Structure formats: structure tokens, C-alpha cells
Structure 1
Amino acid sequence: MNAVVSRAADGDGLSRVSLSELIALRARVGKVRLAPLLSRAARSGQQSSRLYGRGMDYAESRVYQAGDDVRRLDWRLTARSGKLHTKLFQEDREGCLLILLDTHASMRFGTRVRFKSVQAARAAAAAAWCAMRAGERVGVMAFGHADQLVRPQAGPRGALAVCGAMAEWDAHAAPDRLEPLSDALARAGRVLHGASRVLLISDGFSCDDAARKRLLDLGRHAQVSMLVVADVLELVPPPPGRYPLEHAGERCEVMLQSERQRGDFQRVLGAGQARLGELARSLGLRCSSIDTTADAFDAVNGLLGTRRGAR
């Protein structure tokens, strides 16, 4: 994907993704080190790596969990404690981050500062620059109205390709198509290209029951993290009042007065975020939530476990 986007494709950073803004985020990256990868994470849902032998450094031991590789049992600690323990290893290999970006029509919504789609792109760009600075390859796969892939690349070229692709996808939005999250995760599993980390950025509206198994499958090959993007109206009940809404070119006005009306309205709007967040918690995955007013860089730094030094 060519990172050069036409002037018409460079949005305002509010309702449309701005490529210049995504590129400018690079200036905020100092010395970055991503959290170490373990061959078997302590969290449930993260499976063994299958990369053994050279390049594996011992990290720690913990109580045996169902599915652990018996070849990695810590026999000394097991003998001392009387309970089975498994060794965890840090993988010494080139890192690779694959970003899964939700481009469904539900992302083109926002009542504070910017659309969810713009905030998602900003977060993805921040992750790409962090990965680049940490020496990892980075790529992005879109799901929803766009179903394209930018294969992971190293250095500034990889991060610029991610930024350019997101600006192009946003500027040339096609008629919306619903792609269940489970289908997107299955597709991601086929195009991992050696990715050691996967970052899912979504508002959760495409989350379906089958996504749980797909996340478990994906977790066998990479460490999976989630960033749930939401609008303020999807997080807390709105104040009483009249709310003009527009969808597919049609405008309407919603009257919300009683506490019950406002609560029901918020629960309907926030159903996707709640569903995806609960799924992440049940699987023990790293998960964070941001609204459209938040600093995307701070959210990504906390989620990927980055450490930043002086510029």
C-alpha cells in the first residue's frame, strides 16, 4: 500500500481520518520497548508458542494449567511445592504486530471531538509507530466495509504503509457490509505472517458468539490485545433533552427525559462495547477502552505494555 494519499483523502481528523495527523504522531514516540513475549502467558486464552530450543530465555514458573506443554514442567519447583508448575519462556525473536481494524459503519459515529473511526485510526497509528520504534514489523488488516491487508513490514516504511492504508480506506468508504468478528478473526489467522502480537481495535458491534473460539485459536500463535473504542453516549446515560441523529442520510430527533429512557438508550448504544469487553475479560486478554476524546497514545502505551524513555 502506498503511503502517499491524495489531498482529497486527507480528512479533517474529526469525521474523516487525516493522514497528516497519523504521520505526525510519530513525533510522540520516544525510546520504546514493548512488553516481553512469553511462550505461554499466565493469562488464560494465551496458548503455548511451539517455538522451543534456541532463542528461548527462562522468565518465570507458575502453577500448571490445563493445556500446558508437559515438556515445560518445572520439576524442581514441583518437587518442593508438591504442585505441578510450568516454566514460562521469553521468546528471543523478531517481533511483529498485526493490527485488526474495524471499519464497519457503526464506527462512523461520534458526539464528542471525533468519530470512533478516526479515533481507531489514531490508536492504530500510535501502535504502528511504537512497534516501529521498538524494532518490530507492523501491518494492518481491515474488516467490515473494507477487507484489505497491508502485510507487516519493518521500519518507517511499515508504519507509513499502515497510516496510508487507513486514510485510503476511510476516504473511499464502500457500501457497508457486516463481517462478523469471528469471520474477521479466522481471516486474521490465515494471514498472520509470523505476527507475534495482534491488536484488535473495534467498537464491538460485530462481536458474535463464535468469536470466542476464534480468539482462542488466534491466541495459540500470538499475544492478543483489544482496544474497545466508544462514544461518550455509549458509555454513560445522556442528560435529559432532545437529540438529533442522522443515519444513511436520514435525520431524526430522539426525546430522552426519564431516567429509564436515558438508561435504555445508553445500553442499546453501548451493547457492542459491553459484549466485547466481557469477552476479553472472560478470556483473560489485555483489554482497554477509550472514548473519542481520549489520548490514543496513552491508551496504546498502556495496552501494549510499552516503556518510553527520553526522545
Structure 2
Amino acid sequence: MTDGITPTLAELVALRALAGGRRNARLGRHGISGQSLSPLRGRGMEYAESREYIAGDDARHIDWRVTARTGRAHSKVYQAERERLSLIVADTAPSLYFGTRVRFKSVQAARAGAIAAWAAARDGDRIAALRGSDREPPVTPAGGPRGALRVLDALARWYSRPPPDDAGLTVALDHAQRLLRPGSRLVVLADPHSVAELPARRWPVLAQHHEVIVLLLTDPLELAPPAATLPFRSGGSRVELDLGDASRRQRWRAEFTRPLEAALESLPARGIRVQTLSTDAASDSWLPLLGRARPMVA
């Protein structure tokens, strides 16, 4: 049993079963290889595009339909299979260490990250993780259960309490861009307010070369506060907030819903797959986002 306040490594390990329905990795001549496609163009098994014929191209790869339509010889180009990197970026903003239903947002983030790690292991990816810190290095990429367990250990530590050196999601994504390679999968675990602080231009750059999924952690109290006086503890002191007043309750709701709604509206238009993940939701409810066709970038 867990208390819903602090994630445990055992809890995250047990989530492996929830990712069991994902694709299995294939064993090739050189070991495990995932089913993802490399951005490197080669003579693999998966069709990528057709381009004009270049002297020396294999005649067996001529695209006769395009050639007939354009009147110019075209060759088919294929994508070669390669190991993909799955990178989990963990927002560790203080606002995540809170919750009123089932578990803290931080615990839900750790659980979602663990499921992402196990799904990546099933797909034969190399798995890495990082957070917004200039002092703590990323969890370096590794494949299989060993790679997943290293990420799970980091998630359990990062989400047990707010790290004193949290530098924000901007720094985390700066580190991510240095680690990512074209064709990588990026899973971002974030508070909506952290996403709202990012400049919009960050996302199209990431989506252009990577599969990007953003999970927005929320709690029911944030989006639907009761008309009552609520006690809070902040910095060791007890604070009471009267939400019986309709205007005050409206300001509360706007504070939490505005960044969430903005992210849900803007990110898909920039090629990002995004989903809200409430503290009382199933931790694997976002898994259908994996493997969907990439949205068009506006």
C-alpha cells in the first residue's frame, strides 16, 4: 500500500503490468531493436518518400506511378529501423506536491513517468530522464528493464519532496534539447502553470523532429472548488481561504483553468500530443497517446 503522498520504487516497479499491452521489441542480428523509425534515410523496409531518380539508384526502387504521373523518373526512399530514445522530462515545481483526491500530483507524475519508461522498454527504446537542475545530471540512456529501473529510481527521488535546486521546466527542456536526437520520443510531466511560463516557440522546434507528449497534472479541487472555507497549511502555518464568496471562487477557478485551457488549445496546434492527468485518474489513461499519427503542425 502507498500513502499517495510519496511515491515508492516498489509502487513504480509494479506499474510494469500496465504497460504490458504495448508492442514488444524485436530481436535482430545485433540485439534488441525497437519498432520506431530512424529519421536517417536508407534502404530499409519502410517506405519514406519518392524523389527524382539519381544516377546510380537501384532500378528495383523506381516508383513507376510517380514516374508516370510526372514524366520524370523517381526512386523510392526507405527508412531504416534504429533504436529510439525515449526521454522523460520531470517538472518538479513546488505546486505539484499537492493533492486532495487519491494521490498528490507529484505521485501521479511519478506513476505516469514510470508507465512511460516501461512502455519504452517494451518497445525496445533506450530510456533516459531529467529534471530542471543545473547540478544533477540526467539519467543516461539505457535499454531494457535496467534502463527503466534507473529512471524509476530517479522519479521516486525527485517526486518524494520538492527538490531545493529546481530551476524550472525551461531549464529542463534546454537540457532535453541537448540530449535528444531526431526521431526521439519526449514525454513531459508538468504542472499547467509551468507550461504557461514557456514561450510558445519552444514547442514547434521540439515537435518538428521528435514525438512529443505533454501530460498536464491537475487535482479536482483546483478545477472545481467547493463553496466553503478551506484550511491550508503553508510554510508551517495554517491558512483559511473562504471560497463561499462567488467572485473569489471565480478568481480561484480562473487561476487554475486559464493555463490548463491555454495549453490544451495551443499545444496540439503546434504538433504536440497533450492530455490532462488528474490525481484521481488511472495513471495509464494517457497510454493511447503513444503510437498515434502525428498531428499536423499549424
TM-score interval for Structure 1 and Structure 2 normalised by the shorter chain:
0.7 to 0.9
Q: Equivalent of 1:22, from 6, 9, 12? A: 12
Give the conservation status (yes or no) of the 8 Å contact 2:37–2:183: no
Paired with 2:153 and 2:6, the residues of 1 have a C-alpha distance of 13
Distance 1:104 1:130, change over 3 A: same
Paired with 1:31 and 1:56, the residues of 2 have a C-alpha distance of 25
Any idea what SS the aligned residue of 1:240 has?
A: coil
The residue identity in structure 1 corresponding to 2:9 is: L
The residue identity in structure 2 corresponding to 1:111 is: T
The residue identity in structure 1 corresponding to 2:146 is: R
**Cα shift at 1:290:** 1.2
Paired with 1:268 and 1:172, the residues of 2 have a C-alpha distance of 24
Question: Is residue 233 of structure 2 the alignment partner of residue 233 of structure 1?
Answer: no
Paired with 2:111 and 2:127, the residues of 1 have a C-alpha distance of 15
Q: Deviations over 1:222-277 (max 9, x none)?
A: 21111111111223x32211111222322211111244332221121334433433
User: What is residue 192 of structure 2 aligned with on the other side?
Assistant: 204
Question: Is residue 271 of structure 2 the alignment partner of residue 284 of structure 1?
Answer: yes
Deviates more, 1:272-281 or 1:96-105: 272-281
Q: Deviations over 1:89-114 (max 9, x none)?
A: 76522122101111110110111111
User: What is residue 54 of structure 1 aligned with on the other side?
Assistant: 43
Q: Using CA pairs below 8 Å that are at least 6 residues apart, which structure has the higher relative contact order?
A: 1
Q: Deviations over 1:119-161 (max 9, x none)?
A: 0000000111111112111111112698541012101001110
User: What is residue 153 of structure 2 aligned with on the other side?
Assistant: 164
Q: Equivalent of 1:223, from 211, 236, 239? A: 211
Give the conservation status (yes or no) of the 8 Å contact 1:152–1:193: no
Q: Which has the larger Rg? A: 2
User: What is residue 242 of structure 2 aligned with on the other side?
Assistant: 255
The residue identity in structure 2 corresponding to 1:287 is: V
Deviates more, 1:96-105 or 1:162-171: 162-171
The residue identity in structure 2 corresponding to 1:263 is: Q
Paired with 1:183 and 1:258, the residues of 2 have a C-alpha distance of 39
**Cα shift at 1:80:** 6.0
The residue identity in structure 2 corresponding to 1:244 is: P
The residue identity in structure 2 corresponding to 1:223 is: E
Once the two structures are superposed, the pairs formed by residues 12-91 of structure 1 within 5 Å of their partners are 12-33=2-23, 49=39, 51-55=40-44, 57-58=46-47
**Cα shift at 1:53:** 1.9
Question: Is residue 281 of structure 2 the alignment partner of residue 294 of structure 1?
Answer: yes
Paired with 2:137 and 2:222, the residues of 1 have a C-alpha distance of 28
Q: Equivalent of 1:120, from 97, 102, 109? A: 109
Give the conservation status (yes or no) of the 8 Å contact 1:37–1:91: no
Identity of aligned residues (%): 40
Any idea what SS the aligned residue of 2:285 has?
A: helix
Q: Equivalent of 1:92, from 64, 77, 81? A: 81
- CA RMSD, aligned part only? 3.3
User: What is residue 68 of structure 1 aligned with on the other side?
Assistant: none
Any idea what SS the aligned residue of 1:113 has?
A: coil
Paired with 1:171 and 1:144, the residues of 2 have a C-alpha distance of 16
Distance 1:231 1:224, change over 3 A: same
- Residue segments in structure 2 that go unaligned for 5+ positions in a row: 25-33, 51-62, 71-75, 293-298
User: What is residue 303 of structure 1 aligned with on the other side?
Assistant: 289
Q: Deviations over 1:56-107 (max 9, x none)?
A: 622689xxxxxxxxxxxx99569969xxxxx997652212210111111011
The residue identity in structure 2 corresponding to 1:162 is: V
Any idea what SS the aligned residue of 2:124 has?
A: coil
The residue identity in structure 2 corresponding to 1:155 is: G
Give the conservation status (yes or no) of the 8 Å contact 2:43–2:79: no
Paired with 1:269 and 1:250, the residues of 2 have a C-alpha distance of 23
Paired with 2:248 and 2:81, the residues of 1 have a C-alpha distance of 54
Give the conservation status (yes or no) of the 8 Å contact 1:182–1:214: no
Q: TM-score, normalised by structure 2?
A: 0.77
Any idea what SS the aligned residue of 1:296 has?
A: coil
Any idea what SS the aligned residue of 1:103 has?
A: coil
How many residues are paired up?
266
